[in-house]
Chains A and B, each alone.
Chain A
């Protein structure tokens, strides 16, 4: 079984990792995460039409991130990475890196790999 078949929805998984990676920098509001991911990836990754929130809230339920209400007047929700989330991000980032290196090796062909 390949890593791809083990993880059928790769783009959703990458979105999770992008959120966790942004929160590694520091706490952020949802819109700051969306903006930072789009900018830091030069537009290669973007959360279209609110795909961000179901992922954010699922990560919060899984305790990989922590949400808290802050601010004067009307409250804003801020997210931060938990210790569990940091460990998860480290492990998953390594896996994704291996997956993409293997993919590139296949795409470039055996001759290239030998060369």
Chain B
């Protein structure tokens, strides 16, 4: 007779579902299985006979595992099931990238026309903001719509977010420093920088700082969200491991 662990491992492999949905199903089935064995043993069956009967009554066949997967697939997964997964993912990534670029590009374009910020600064900050937003939006999409984000990819996304945050801060600080240093050195040397030019530089520096701080808030918020999502996904993966472990304890949270 196979062990409960091997039967549930096989079932886990057959369930074509995201980890969170598999964990929910296996939590129910494994607890029911253990409770039925306990009930049958209390009624006088040997542990082996009780386990055999529990296997017969409760563990789904390949067909039933397929039916369960079909029932618990997300609506979105059903919608795109007719297309190749790799192609769907390319379309999803491109769509999210374009939306992030538009969301960042439109206000930056307006800012470029109304303020005197250097094009180089705006471009670097715009690219960083687009990447920050796209990284966050892609993983939010995977969690909310696809429901298939795993702990490792969320951890990697968090690191990318932190790196982009660092890049944004560095680009903003560098832009302010270079702009201010060039104007001040010209002013000090009496090389033509007027008080009006110094005031304009200070305004640009203030705008760059405000923009950098805004992007930093977006980046920090994104990094915190990714950390929270990573911890939730890790909890689910730990539960799955516990449910499939030979030392599964039905009373342990």
Whether A50 lies near B35 (C-beta < 8 A) is no
- Verify if A57 is at the interface (C-beta below 8 Å from B): yes
Q: Are A57 and B253 in contact, CB atoms less than 8 angstroms apart?
A: no
B95 to chain A, nearest CB (A): 29
**Residue of B28, B56, B61, B249 with most chain A CB atoms under a 10 A cut-off:** B28
Q: How far is the CB of B181 from chain A (nearest CB, A)?
A: 62
| Cβ-based interface call for B92 (8 A) | no
Question: In this assembly, does B162 line the interface, its C-beta being within 8 Å of a C-beta of chain A?
Answer: no
Task: Given A49-B64, A57-B68, answer yes or no on A76-B56 (Cβ-Cβ < 8 Å).
Answer: no
* A75 and B27 in contact, given A52-B57, A53-B60 (Cβ under 8 angstroms): yes
- B35 to A73, Cβ gap below 8 A? no
Residues of chain B within 8 A (CB-CB) of A46 are: 57
A83 interfacial by beta-carbon distance below 8 Å: no
The reply to whether A35 and B35 form a contact with Cβ atoms under 8 Å apart is: no
B58 & A58 in contact (Cβ 8 Å cutoff): no
Specify which of A31, A49, A54, A72 is in contact with B68 (CB 8 Å cutoff): A54
**A35–B251 CB distance below 8 A:** no
Size category of the B interface is 20 to 34
Residues of B within 8 A of A13 (CB): none
A74 touches B253 (CB 8 A): yes
Chain B residues with Cβ below 8 Å from A9 are none
Q: Which of B56, B57, B60, B68 has the most A CB atoms < 10 Å from its CB?
A: B57
Q: With A73-B251, A75-B27 given, is the CB distance from A49 to B60 under 8 Å? A: yes
Size class of the contact patch on chain A: 20 to 34
A27 at the interface (CB under 8 A from B): no
Which one, A30, A50, A76, contacts B64 given CB within 8 A? A50
Report the nearest A residue to B28, measured CB to CB.
A77
Are B31 and A49 within 8 A (Cβ)?
A: no
Least distance between A37 CB and chain B CB atoms (Å): 10
What is the bound-complex CA distance between A74 and B245, given in angstroms? Answer: 15
A54 touches B71 (CB 8 A): yes
Q: Which chain A residues (66-85) contact chain B, with CB distance < 8 Å? A: 72-77
User: Closest CB-CB distance, A71 to chain B, in whole Å?
Assistant: 8
Q: In chain A, what residue has the closest Cβ to B25?
A: A53
Q: How far is the CA of A54 from the CA of B56 in the complex (A)?
A: 15
**B251 / chain A contacts, CB cutoff of 8 Å:** 72-74
Q: Is B252 within 8 A of A30, CB to CB?
A: no
Q: Is A89 an interface residue (CB 8 A)?
A: no
Q: Give the complex CA separation of A51 and B67 in angstroms.
A: 9
- Check A30 against B28 for contact (C-beta < 8 Å): yes
Interface assignment of A102: CB less than 8 Å from any CB of chain B = no
- Whether B32 is near chain A, meaning CB under 8 Å from some CB there, is yes
B29 interface hit (Cβ, 8 Å): yes
Closest residue of chain B to A38 (Cβ to Cβ) is: B57
Q: Which partner residue on chain A sits nearest B64 by CB separation?
A: A50
Cβ–Cβ contact A58 & B71, under 8 A: yes
Tell me which residues from 37 to 87 in chain B have a Cβ below 8 Å from any Cβ of chain A. Answer: 39, 54, 56-61, 64-65, 67-68, 71-72
Interface string of B236-253 (1 = CB under 8 A from A): 000000000000011111
Return the chain A residue nearest B30 by Cβ: A74
B59 with A76: CB separation less than 8 A: no
Q: List the A residue with the shortest CB-CB distance to B62.
A: A49
Query: Which A residues have a C-beta under 8 Å from some C-beta of B?
Result: 29-31, 34-35, 38, 46-54, 57-58, 61, 72-77
